[in-house]
Amino acid sequence: QVQLVESGGGLVQAGGSLRLSCVASGASFSTYAVGWFRQVPGKERTFVGVIAWDARRAFYADSVKGRFTISRDNANNTVYLQMNSLKPEDTAVYYCARGARPFILPLNRPGEFGSWGQGTQVTVSS
């Protein structure tokens, strides 16, 4: 079973940048898409973006498009979420998740992802 560990969260001022990492261990990773989601207390987990297993495709939520970029390094079992021009409304716990099936690019529903990390907090101050 794959284990995912996110890191890189923290406190940043509005307009700043952060790069989150998601490191996988324990099972296959390079043949699966990886997504990022975020969640604030009392609300549902929402889609941020997803990258295909071979990094040839990626798509993003409208709220982050043009500001966030997902990349991956399959040799090191790591996926990154580069977040630029951060806004206070980006404040949330960010989770990475591996797609439920190999080679399939999931859409934006949490149910299409099979393994989740524990999350990392991102706080953007105004």
pLDDT digits (tens, 9 = 90+) for 22-34: 999 987 889 999 9
Give me the phi and psi of 86, to 5 degrees please.
-65, 145
Enter the DSSP assignment of 67.
T
Tell which residue, 109, 57, 60, has the closest CA to residue 81. Answer: 60
* Residue (of 95, 96, 97) closest to 121 by Cα position: 95
Contact present, 14 and 88 (Cβ < 8 Å):
yes
The low-confidence residues of the chain, meaning pLDDT below 50, are none
Copy the structure tokens of residue 14. Answer: 């509005």
pLDDT attached to residue 52: 97
Position 26 scores a pLDDT of: 82
Classify residue 111 by its DSSP letter.
Answer: G
Residue 33 has a pLDDT of: 96
